[in-house]
Amino acid sequence: MLTAEQIAPKQAVPILRTTYHQLGELGVYAGRRVQLVYGTVIDMSPMGTPHANAIRMLNRYFVTHTAPDLDVMVQLPIAAADDSEPEPDFAFIPQLKGATEDHPSTALLVVEVADSSLKLDLGPKSSLYAECRVPEYWVVDLKARSTVVHRVPRRGKYTSVRRVAWSAVLTSTAVAGLSIKLTDIL
């Protein structure tokens, strides 16, 4: 019998969004939380209570403190590239009217809440959001009680990255009028 190491390809073949959707329609991902990032289908951990609570409380705040001409998407897909369709915890986009042909391809601001996903959120997802020109990306780090703020995307990387304590007032440079002090919310 051959081992996995003996037959493993030298390089995995990434899948595209079209194939990802076809597999979803066939039920391949039924009962699983998955995202497509750089051609790889990533199984997400079950959502724990701290993550769920943060999503619930942030959602209430974001929806009530965002201009009516913007949509706050919650855990909905972004068509970031042919091989990537992440589902960020929050994405702020110009308001869409009616049904659309595809998911939005970028956002003004993306916010990820990180509990078990910090490595993914600060690594591949940071590059992906920079590549699809998201001007501002926040990673709310539940364990460190701080937010990693990414700004100024250039060549697939953010040129400004800083960690902000939850006790500080965080003001978005991409979403007009959005300021938050996470100690007041979480």
Domain that holds residue 169: 46-185
Distances (CA, A) of 3 to 7, 8, 12, 133, 158: 7, 9, 17, 42, 41
Of the candidate ranges 8-12, 39-43, 130-134, the one whose mean pLDDT is the lowest: 8-12
Closest CA to 86 of 46, 37, 134, 20: 37
| 39 is a domain residue | no
Q: What's the CATH code of the domain at 118?
A: 3.90.1570.10
pLDDT value at 60 more than 90:
yes
pLDDT value at 3 more than 90:
no
Q: How far apart are CA 133 and CA 143, in angstroms?
A: 28
Can you tell me the mean pLDDT for 77-97? 95
| 34 is a domain residue | no
Q: How far apart are CA 175 and CA 66, in angstroms?
A: 8
| 40 is a domain residue | no
Read off the pLDDT of residues 152-178 as tens digits, 9 standing for 90 and up.
999 999 999 999 999 999 999 999 999
Distances (CA, A) of 168 to 104, 181, 186: 31, 6, 13
| 32 is a domain residue | no
Domain count within the chain: 1
| 147 is a domain residue | yes
Structure tokens at 7: 């037959």
Can you tell me the mean pLDDT for 83-97? 94
| 92 is a domain residue | yes
pLDDT value at 2 more than 70:
no
Instruction: Determine the pLDDT at residue 96.
Output: 82
| 119 is a domain residue | yes
Question: What's the mean pLDDT when you consider all of the chain?
Answer: 93
CA 81-91-104 angle, to 5 degrees, is 40
Alpha helices in 47-158 (DSSP H): 49-64, 118-122, 124-131
Can you tell me the mean pLDDT for 113-132? 96
